[in-house]
Amino acid sequence: MIPLEDNAGDILGKAQRGLRRPGENDPGRLGLNAAALRAIAEGTWYPKNPGPIDGLVCFNTPFHDMTVNSYVVFDPKTMEAAAFDTGTDCTGMLKYRIRQIFLTHIHGDHVLELDRLKERTGARAFVSEREPIEGAEPFPDGAEFQIGNLRVQTRRTSGHARGGVTYVVAGLAIVGDAMFAGSMGGGLVSYEEALRTNRENILSLPDDTVICPGHGPLTTVGEEKLHNPFFAK
C-alpha cells in the first residue's frame, strides 16, 4: 500500500498558504471539510483499492525523501502503449511497446527520464503548450490522441503547474499533481485556479473514474467527492 501523499498538517498548510492565512487552523474558515480532514488525521480513511485494471501498469520510483508515480496505458487488443510521465527510473516501462509519452506537467520528478525513455523507445513526447519543454511537442488545450484503439482526451488542470494536464482514457484520469487521494497539489501557480480546474475537469467525470495521481495511491472521482477535504461537501 502506497501511503497517502499528505497528512492533515500538510492539507492545512496548503490551504493556509493558498488563502494567505498563516496560523488559521479552523478547517471551515479555510474552506476544508472538517470531517474528511479528521478522518485523514485519525487514519480512518484510505481509498478503496480498484483492483487490477486491464491495460494499466503503475510504477512508483524514489525521488529524494518521497516517491513519484508514472504509468503505462496500453490497448489490450493491439498492445500499443503510451507512458504518462517518466518517474525517476523508466526501466520497467521498456518492456512495453511505448509509442507516445504524455507529460502531466514538467516538474523534475515527473520528467527526469524523458530523454532516456525517448531514446530507448523512439516514442514521441507531448506536453501542454502552456509549459513547453525541450524534447516534447506542445499541444493546445483540448487536444486528443489515440493509443491503438483507445481515445485519449486532455483536460486542463492548471494551478499547481502552469501546464497541468489530466489525460482521460479508458475510464482512467491520469492527473499528475493536480489531485491526490485526500488532497491536491500545492497550488504553486494559483490556488484558486487549482481548485477550480480540479472541480471542473476532474470531479465532473463519472464517479467510477479511476484517478491516477502523481503521488500516493489510486483513488476514484466518487471517493474524492466524499473524502477529499478540499472538495467534499
Using DSSP's 3-state secondary structure scheme, residue 11 falls into helix
Q: Please report how many Cα atoms fall inside a 13 Å half-sphere around the Cα of residue 154, on the Cβ side.
A: 23
The predicted structure's pLDDT at residue 1: 85
Pairs from 107-110 (Cβ < 8 Å, separation ≥ 24): 107/161, 107/177, 109/63, 109/66, 109/68, 109/214, 110/68, 110/70, 110/85, 110/86, 110/176, 110/177, 110/214
∠ Cα 193 197 201 (to 5°):
175
Rounded CA-CA distance 167/194 in Å is 16
pLDDT tens for each residue of the chain, 233 residues long: 899 999 999 999 999 999 999 999 999 999 999 999 999 999 999 999 998 999 999 999 999 999 999 999 999 999 999 999 999 999 999 999 999 999 999 999 999 999 999 999 999 999 999 999 999 999 999 999 999 999 999 999 999 999 999 999 999 999 999 999 999 999 999 999 999 999 999 999 999 999 999 999 999 999 999 999 999 99
Q: Which domains does the chain have, with CATH numbers?
A: 8-45+53-227 (3.60.15.10)
Q: Is the pTM of this model over 0.95?
A: yes
Rounded CA-CA distance 165/168 in Å is 10
| Residue 57 φ/ψ, nearest 5 degrees | -125, 130
Rounded CA-CA distance 91/73 in Å is 16
> At residue 82, what is the residue type?
A
* Beta strands 124-128 and 137-139, pairing class: parallel
The predicted structure's pLDDT at residue 3: 96
Nearest Cα neighbor of 47 from 233, 218, 225, 214 is 218
12-61 confidence digits (pLDDT tens): 999 999 999 999 999 999 999 999 999 999 999 999 999 899 999 999 99
- Which residue stretches of 159-202 are H helix? 191-201
